[in-house]
A and B are shown apart, each in its own frame.
Chain A
Amino acid sequence: MTITTRPDVRTHIAVSGLTKVYPGSRGPVVALRDVSFTVREREFCALIGPSGCGKTTLLQTLVGLIAPTSGSVAVPRPDRGRLRTAMVFQGISTFPWMTVVQNVEYGLRIMGVSPRDRRERAETHVRQVGLWAFRDAYPHQLSEGMRQRVSIARAFATDPEILLMDEPFASLDEQTRLLLQDELLRLWQGSQKTILFVTHSLDEAVRLADRVLVMTAAPGRIKAEVAVTLARPRGYREMRRDAAYGMLTARLWDELELAGDAAGVLR
């Protein structure tokens, strides 16, 4: 993976010609083919696509868990005491054997931040996600939504320049999901981080993002990008009544359907 200093100030993530091929038992499987896109600094960018299109592979390549077969991924070099990219996972997201605070300070611990500093930073972020009363609780004592808050706090605690989120709200009920979306937006606006947010919910993409990237079914490619011009803050009710919101979702549906249809997925 080539990691260069930021190509220019405005571009924060630069993916070009990214291809990932997995060796399969019945021949190689192409997960990503020639994916290219950029994300600007402080942009909230959503990524949608049919299931199995390689969204997760893409994020894991960006965070360095997977090496690309070809192509390059460029993210900025981090300052000291910061993480370049932090990832929030879907489903299992916290360590059951650590308390809330211990979970939140996990990234800082690996980074080698001193115990006092990391405790302080962790506690600040535990407060920010409203879990102060539960700081010494273990994940099994929390609801799914609270656990996901813990994992968001852990990511923010490392003060990453880029936040990668892999369907973090997928397993939550609708109400909790809306609540956490609001919290995420608040945290994002307070910190001005660059976020790449994978979701399979068009609604979520439109509500959160500045721009939505649409991927095709496997092998994944970026098929379209749609700018979301709705004004912020995007209250749920007001947004739904907005004609522009309907147009946008319809447009995304079309793109997604075509993307799936190309591979015969959504027929």
Chain B
Amino acid sequence: MTGGGAYRALTILSPVGFLVVWEGLSRAGVLDPRFIPAPSTVVHTLAAMTRTGELPYHVGVSLRRIVLGFVLGAVPAVGAGLAMGLSRPVRALLMPLVSALYPIPKIAVYPLIIFYLGLGEASKISIVALSIFFLVLLNTMAGVLALDPAYFKIARAYGAGNRWLFATVAFPGALPHIFTGLKLGMGFALIVIVGAELLGSDAGIGYLIWRSYQIFDVDAMFAGLLVTAGLGWVATSALDWLELRLLPWRP
């Protein structure tokens, strides 16, 4: 087995081992199925909910909110981050504001957002956008600041103006950092969207979990958690894939 294969086996070992122990404890009667269902039961529930179309619907709703919120938050964040990284005056002007707003737990702003935008899609998408905005902004800025000034000097020696510095030096150079921000942001986006759906929504994974709680459907609650975990894994893998495609120049 190659080194990479061995590591891949190790990364599968922990989740599989965890499930096996859990299943074993359930079958041995150590875990009360009224409170903690066996993994096989959860998978059964998952399959049933998929067949009825209920699960795909809620996953689709959450996914759409995450993707739209991600684009809405990341695009301006990259722009602002590049501007702050390139220009010292802009940085001096905006940094205090960013430092003050960044640490606010974004879910705490959600009631306010509902108050402004109502319970519809706009509030869900906005909270996702808000939750990743500062992360991506700060990482983008750090990426520009970490670039060797020599790159800018070469560009300017060939007559590059600000627009060119933006497009050919600052943005591609900061892209690795931007991806770090996006990946961190993906975790936050999931936390926030499920939280927001728990609080006030009529669709989405968070809503599914909340409704299952209200009718004491423990199996479905576990199914919802499993789907959330799966969604997180898929999203992170998608970003990894995109990173590999967009950054072939990294050693």
Residues of A with Cβ closer than 8 Å to B?
A: 60, 63-65, 83, 86-87, 89, 91-93, 95-99, 106-107, 109-111, 138-140, 158
Interchain CA distance A138-B157 in the complex, whole Å: 22
With A89-B150, A138-B249 given, is the CB distance from A95 to B157 under 8 Å?
no
A97 touches B158 (CB 8 A): no
With A98-B249, A138-B248 given, is the CB distance from A89 to B158 under 8 Å?
no
Write out the residue numbers on chain A whose beta carbons fall within 8 Å of the beta carbon of B25: none
Write out the residue numbers on chain B whose beta carbons fall within 8 Å of the beta carbon of A89: 150, 153-154, 157
With A138-B249, A140-B249 given, is the CB distance from A95 to B160 under 8 Å?
no
Contact of B168 among A65, A106, A139 (CB under 8 A): A106
Select from chain B the residue with minimum beta-carbon distance to A139: B249
Contact of B157 among A87, A92, A139 (CB under 8 A): A87
Select from chain A the residue with minimum beta-carbon distance to B150: A92
Select from chain B the residue with minimum beta-carbon distance to A94: B154
Interchain CA distance A63-B154 in the complex, whole Å: 11
Q: Annotate B128-156 by CB proximity to A: 1 below 8 A, 0 otherwise.
A: 00000000000000000000101101111
Query: B159 in the interface, Cβ–Cβ < 8 Å?
Result: yes
Contact of A97 among B159, B164, B249 (CB under 8 A): B249
Contact of A65 among B151, B157, B164, B247 (CB under 8 A): B157
Contact of A95 among B159, B168, B250, B251 (CB under 8 A): B168
B156 touches A95 (CB 8 A): no
B157 touches A93 (CB 8 A): no
Interface size class of B (residues with CB under 8 A): 20 to 34
B156 touches A65 (CB 8 A): yes
Binds A, one of B110-118, B169-177, B219-227, B234-242: B169-177
Q: Give the interface SS of chain A, mostly helix, strand, loop or mixed.
A: loop
With A140-B250, A140-B251 given, is the CB distance from A92 to B148 under 8 Å?
yes
Select from chain A the residue with minimum beta-carbon distance to B169: A95
Select from chain A the residue with minimum beta-carbon distance to B249: A138
Interchain CA distance A87-B155 in the complex, whole Å: 10
Interchain CA distance A89-B156 in the complex, whole Å: 12
Write out the residue numbers on chain A whose beta carbons fall within 8 Å of the beta carbon of B156: 65
Q: How far is the CB of B28 from chain A (nearest CB, A)?
A: 54
Write out the residue numbers on chain A whose beta carbons fall within 8 Å of the beta carbon of B248: 138
Q: How far is the CB of A172 from chain B (nearest CB, A)?
A: 17
Q: How far is the CB of A89 from chain B (nearest CB, A)?
A: 6
Write out the residue numbers on chain A whose beta carbons fall within 8 Å of the beta carbon of B164: 110
B158 touches A107 (CB 8 A): yes
Q: Annotate B44-58 by CB proximity to A: 1 below 8 A, 0 otherwise.
A: 000000000000000
A111 touches B249 (CB 8 A): no
Q: How far is the CB of A198 from chain B (nearest CB, A)?
A: 14
A158 touches B168 (CB 8 A): no
Q: Which 7 A-B pairs have CB atoms at the shortest separation, nearest pair first?
A: A140-B251, A92-B150, A97-B172, A138-B249, A107-B158, A87-B157, A97-B249
Write out the residue numbers on chain A whose beta carbons fall within 8 Å of the beta carbon of B155: 106, 110
Select from chain B the residue with minimum beta-carbon distance to A158: B158
19 other A-B residue contacts (CB within 8 Å) besides A92-B154, A107-B158, A139-B249: A60-B153, A86-B157, A87-B154, A87-B157, A91-B150, A95-B151, A95-B173, A96-B250, A97-B173, A97-B175, A97-B247, A98-B172, A99-B249, A106-B158, A107-B159, A110-B158, A110-B159, A138-B248, A158-B158
B154 touches A93 (CB 8 A): yes
Write out the residue numbers on chain A whose beta carbons fall within 8 Å of the beta carbon of B168: 95, 106, 109
Most buried by A among B158, B159, B172, B250: B158
Q: How far is the CB of A134 from chain B (nearest CB, A)?
A: 13
